[in-house]
Structure 1
Amino acid sequence: MSSDSTPAADRPAPGRFTPLHFQLVLLRRMADHNPDLVEAARYELGVSLAEMREANKRWQAMVRSPRSRSAASRYRSVLGPPESTTARRIGDLDCEARQWPVPLWPSLRFEILLAPNGAVWNEWLVRAPGAEPPALHSLEDLTPWSCTVDEAARAFAPARPLEGSAPTRWGLSFTAPDAQGVRREVVAEFTWGLLQRMAVVG
């Protein structure tokens, strides 16, 4: 279905920022690495390129506003009540994990991690509870959007985190076998926690 034929009721409204708008924000950050995948997803959502840009512009304005609400409140306002809220301990830190469904990726959830003081210290896509994780055995399995940061780090441990090139981006350095079984040094890049591209560097 083209964006021109999408019913008006299903299109992003100009007023309230909705979960559909938020999916466009996720896609906008991924477009630098995978424009073809983003184009197909945008087509699936039935929105124009201009609408995606406008959604991102509005999101950035909300984030940067001096009167902006907290990140946790902003996500709840946009995405509604979380599908799940779970206490979690990561290292020495007790935190709360909140997750929301993402219709574009039914097997994923958007997750934020809240510190005890209510600050959001992580926000990314993770595999949904009970969803089948991808089979990651070699370089050939590391295709765009195939896995999350956590899944790649576990599959090819030990992995070394790298500083991302922009906010909402992460990197991992690890070794993985190629098609002939030769182990190669790899750098993988993730946006919002989802694999975007990888490069063999050694």
Structure 2
Amino acid sequence: MTAPAPFGPREFQLVLLRRMADHQPALVEMARQELSASLAEMREANRRWQAMVRAPRGRGALRRYRSVLGQPESSACRTIGDLECDALLWPVPLWPDLRFEVMVAPGGAVWNEWLVRAPGAAGPELRTIEDLRPWSGTVDEVARAFAPARPVEGSAPTRWALAIDAPGSGESYVAEFTWGLFQRLLPG
């Protein structure tokens, strides 16, 4: 019996794609091919990730990310309200203008993990509802473009949603995100 291949950034990207496949199967298929990965490899990467997450004596979330993704590309101290945390960023080759961000509380607890725009990378121009295309923006970018956006409970642990209104018409929508990346727009 051979040992499984190391679980690294390529396999982690397959995990991100696996959850996105529920809403954007065509985009996921193209991205999977870009990674030269089979459906079986994507399923196996997800199975292994879930096993790491659920292992009774497994690593904590931060140690797991560091072991899979290596040292972060950058880190910064962030203040959110009266709380201070560290924001660690890793590159994600499938999305060169994005970074995988892990927000870490004092003491090492992971508060949040998702895709964000890379520092210095230009974000999308989101002026109208029609500008929202799958994988076009992050939670923060959509929230700013359609302020005042209201958080809505997501349908799974790696999903977020924002209630937004169309500029001008006032029509309500729910923007859904997976791992922080826009997936689809539903009537509100």
| TM-score bracket for this pair, using the shorter chain length | over 0.9
Q: 1:54 aligns with which of 32, 44, 49?
A: 44
Corresponding residue number in structure 1 for 2:79 = 89
Shift of the alpha carbon at 1:174? Answer: 1.2
Q: 2:91 aligns with which of 87, 101, 105?
A: 101
Shift of the alpha carbon at 1:93? Answer: 0.8
What are the residue-to-residue correspondences of 1:172-183 with 2, within 5 Å?
A: 172-177=162-167, 181-183=168-170
Q: Give the aligned length.
A: 186
Are residue 16 (structure 1) and residue 3 (structure 2) matched? no
Q: 2:141 aligns with which of 151, 167, 178?
A: 151
Q: 2:177 aligns with which of 175, 190, 195?
A: 190
What are the residue-to-residue correspondences of 1:166-177 with 2, within 5 Å?
A: 166-177=156-167
Q: 1:31 aligns with which of 21, 25, 39?
A: 21
Distance 1:89 1:81 in 2: 22
Aligned residue for 1:33, secondary structure, equals: coil
**What residue identity is the alignment partner of 1:33?**
H
Give the TM-score normalised by the residue count of structure 1.
0.90
Aligned residue for 1:81, secondary structure, equals: coil
The percentage of aligned residue pairs carrying the same residue is 70
Shift of the alpha carbon at 1:14? Answer: 3.2
Distance 2:61 2:76 in 1: 18
Name the stretch that deviates more: 31-40 or 192-201.
192-201
Aligned residue for 2:171, secondary structure, equals: strand
Distance 1:46 1:183 in 2: 43
Aligned residue for 2:63, secondary structure, equals: helix
Distance 1:158 1:117 in 2: 33
Shift of the alpha carbon at 1:200? Answer: 2.5
Aligned residue for 1:122, secondary structure, equals: strand
Corresponding residue number in structure 1 for 2:186 = 199
Aligned residue for 1:183, secondary structure, equals: coil
Q: What's the RMSD between the two structures over aligned residues?
A: 1.0
Aligned residue for 1:172, secondary structure, equals: strand
Shift of the alpha carbon at 1:92? Answer: 1.2
Give the TM-score normalised by the residue count of structure 2.
0.97
